[in-house]
Amino acid sequence: MASKADLIVGIQWGDEGKGKIVDLLAQKYDFVIRYQGGHNAGHTIVIDGKKYALHLIPSGVLNPSAVNIIGNGVVIYPDALIDEALQFGDLTNRLFISQNAHLILDYHIALDQAKEKSLGDKKIGTTGRGIGPAYADKISRAGVRLGDLADQKSAVETILSRYDQHGLTPPAKAKIASDVARWSEKLLPFAADTTKMLWDALDANKKALLEGAQGTLLDVDHGTYPFVTSSNTIASGACSGAGLSPKEIGKVIGIVKAYCTRVGNGPFAAEQSNDIGDKLRENGEEFGTSTGRARRCGWFDAPLAKFACRINGVDELALMKLDVFDGFDEIKICVDYDDGKPVYKSFAGWDKIAKARSFDDLPKTARNYVAALEELTGVKIALISTGADRNDTIYR
């Protein structure tokens, strides 16, 4: 009997703690697959106090038995991937990259940063990693794919012509040629027909876990447009981004933070630009994994979380960073909107739950907060995270 691929998806604006959960679950999976986004993602894993920040390599890489796949829907900045891979030693047979994945080229980064600059106050607040321009070239059929590097001469000509088409001064041809040669040497050994690989794995009843990047509210179609990223971050993005039919998606696990954060600009109704937001940022160490930017912080937004659960078909939630409320006397949830303004419900806080590993050990007030989130989203919370480490986890 063929198996189905389970899926991890961010419920808010990214940085929910997807990396921790993918790493934790990967111990029970044969394959971990990234299906969209690029090195705008920053997924943190903490094992026995040691921190790893992953941007392109799937968060299964710290489990020696998991095979990691970068799917066709991901955009790859070759040197970022080459550098990131260095820390993991030999990844032969542990990492495969779709030959159809598009490359982010230096001019995509230049275009991203120039556009942001020209927007002034109205800028999106992108990560400046060339994500939007790379996806734009892909959609307008002007992209360069990993597999195109097999013909180095032709790849160099194509890249040169792209500079021309965008009205940009190209670097010296010799520079492009040496880049292409390096990328070919370092990355082509990992190139594969990852769609076929995944089908064969599922047919052989292997277990696969799809790792979403960013979050639902950053989805280019369903998020807070134009303050979004340039890919489909929601569960359905995994079908196109990995080459799976909708029928091959199994359990959908939504990753949700106990409060909300957002990096970059755009609407955030429950944002707390005050002491509360500052305390959340401090307790939660809310600074970007990719860019180091301070994250905007605010209360949990239940209507948005409910929307996200519906659009992703979430079966169960993992509730992250509940410990960040340690020392809060009062916690609020945005339960509704009245004329665009959040309506809050108040809950009693608690003293300390950091590192708790059993639901019964939690104070009643924390259990009440969890129950309220379940009721408001209509989805069971199957896991609660009480610290960054793998072990700081409560299973229910």
Q: How far is CA 261 from CA 146, 157, 166, 178, in A?
A: 34, 43, 35, 41
Q: Which of 6, 15, 106, 179 is catalytic?
A: 15
Per CB under 6 A, 22 contacts ligand IMO: no
The piece of 31-39, 158-166, 198-206, 317-325 that touches ligand GDP (CB under 6 A) is: 317-325
Per CB under 6 A, 134 contacts ligand IMO: no
Q: How far is the CB of 336 from ligand GDP (least distance, A)?
A: 26
Q: Report the distance separating Cα 378 and Cα 285, nearest Å.
A: 29
Helix and strand numbers, DSSP H then E, in the chain: 11, 19
Per CB under 6 A, 264 contacts ligand IMO: yes
Q: Report the distance separating Cα 228 and Cα 224, nearest Å.
A: 6
Q: How far is the CB of 39 from ligand IMO (least distance, A)?
A: 9
Residues 6+ apart with CB under 8 A from 166: 107, 111
Q: Which does 46 bind (CB under 5 to 8 A by kind): Mg ion, ligand GDP, ligand IMO, none?
A: ligand GDP
Task: Give yes or no for a cis peptide into 226 (omega within 30° of 0).
Answer: yes
Q: Report the distance separating Cα 290 and Cα 39, nearest Å.
A: 8
Residue ranges of the alpha helices (H) in 122-223? 131-139, 152-165, 173-187, 194-203
Phi-psi region of 221 (alpha: psi -120 to 50; beta: other; left: phi over 0): alpha
The piece of 81-89, 107-115, 284-292, 305-313 that touches ligand GDP (CB under 6 A) is: 284-292
43 in catalytic set: yes
The piece of 36-44, 154-162, 233-241, 299-307 that touches ligand GDP (CB under 6 A) is: 36-44
Q: Which of 6, 30, 39, 43 is catalytic?
A: 43
Number of residues that bind ligand IMO (CB under 6 A): 24
Q: How far is the CB of 298 from ligand GDP (least distance, A)?
A: 16
User: Contact positions toward ligand GDP, by CB under 6 A?
Assistant: 10, 14-20, 42-44, 46, 284-285, 289, 320-321, 323-324, 385-388
Q: Which residues are catalytic?
A: 15, 43
